[in-house]
Amino acid sequence: MQITSFLQDKQLTIALSGEIDHHGAKATLRMVEEKIDQYMPTLCILDFRAVPFMDSSGIAVVIHTLRRMNELGGRLHLTKVPPQPEKVLRAAGIDRIVKLEGRELSHEM
Amino acid sequence: MKCENQMVLEFPSKSINESFARAAAACFAAQLDPTLDELGDIKTAVSEAVTNAIVHGYPDTIGTITLRCRILAGNVLDIVVRDKGRGIENVEQALQPMFTTGGAERSGMGFTIMESFMNELKVTSRPGRGTTVHMKRKIQKRGGQS
């Protein structure tokens, strides 16, 4: 998993790249949290376009990030979520607590 | 039920093998001509089951995990993930959404995902002896070339 981020007007976009499973989830969590603590954004956007696969470890990453943003009084959005990760997020009901924006329509894996 | 093809894999409970196991299951399932969506469901369920075996079956040791995939009559993929680890004291509790004994990187949604992505899920476990997760998924027959 690799992450890249950019900040604009207290809006932090973190682009995740690679598959999210238990093997890499802890490191991903830590990297995302470090970015948030460094920039203290009011809105954090996790960009999923380069995440072709995730299992329930990805849910943990989203919930953990949401909790951190709540502590800071900020919001969390997910953007460009491909079909497989979206299905996992919806199965867990995450779409009811976090806004999913900008559908990623490509079904390529 | 008649088994038309099968494969069995054994590997140590190292987390690096999670991606290997789900990719292997997906490769085997490919002969049923699944859609990308069905393939994604299979990979997800196998990833969850193998991760459970690694995290909960063998929390402090490296043990052996067996993945068996079979193709049954009627385009059914039958998947078994077995460990000989610690076992689950209370299977019913473990199946509840959000229940986890793992850390922050676990969501407690593994069995919920397996249940919703597969047609059948059966979990049998004996404390101290290990856990077996048995899943079935029917792959829709598609028109066109065969």
Catalytic-role residue among B17, B22, B38, B48: B48
Pair type for strands B130-138 and A2-8: unpaired
What ipTM score was computed for the predicted complex, to two decimals?
0.89
B93 falls within a domain: yes
Burial class of residue B104, CB neighbours in 10 A (0-12, 13-18, 19+): middle
Tokens of A65: 């990030």
Q: Is the pLDDT of residue B99 over 90?
A: no
The structure tokens 């329509």 sit at: A105
The Cα–Cα gap between A90 and A81 comes to 11
- Residue with the two structure tokens 């999923």: A48
Looking at residue A84, its pLDDT comes to: 96
- Whether residue B89 has pLDDT greater than 80: yes
Taking residues B75-92, report their average pLDDT. 95
Contact A53 B110 (CB under 8 A): no
Integer Cα distance of B120 and A79 in angstroms:
32
The partner residues of B7 in beta bridges, in order of sequence, read: B69
Domain assignment present for B126: yes
**Which residues in chain A touch residue B36, judged by CB atoms under 8 angstroms apart?**
83, 107, 109
Owning domain of residue B28: 3-138
Q: Give the per-residue pLDDT at B38.
A: 97
DSSP bridge partners of A26: none
Residue B16 resides in a domain: yes
Residues B27-50: pLDDT tens digits?
999 999 999 999 999 999 999 999
Is it the case that residue B146 has pLDDT exceeding 50? Answer: no
Q: Is residue B145 part of a domain?
A: no
pLDDT score, position B3: 85
Q: Does B55 touch chain A (CB under 8 A)?
A: yes
Count of domains for chain B = 1
Q: What is the pLDDT of residue B102?
A: 76
Separation CA A21–CA A10 (nearest Å): 29
Q: What pLDDT is attached to residue B53? A: 96
pLDDT in tens, B40-78: 999 999 999 999 999 999 999 999 999 999 999 999 999
* Angle in degrees, 0-180, between the axes of helices B110-117 and A83-91, rounded to the nearest 10: 110
- Identify the pLDDT of residue B2: 80
Are B43 and A23 inside 8 Å of each other by CB?
A: no
In a 13 Å sphere around the CA of B37, the CA atoms on its Cβ side amount to 8
How does the average pLDDT of chain B come out, rounded?
A: 93
The CATH number for B117's domain is 3.30.565.10
- Domains and their CATH numbers in chain A: 2-101 (3.30.750.24)
Copy the structure tokens of residue B123: 């979990």
What pLDDT score was predicted for residue A107?
47
Task: Report, as ranges of residue numbers, the positions in chain A whose pLDDT lies below 70.
Answer: 104-109
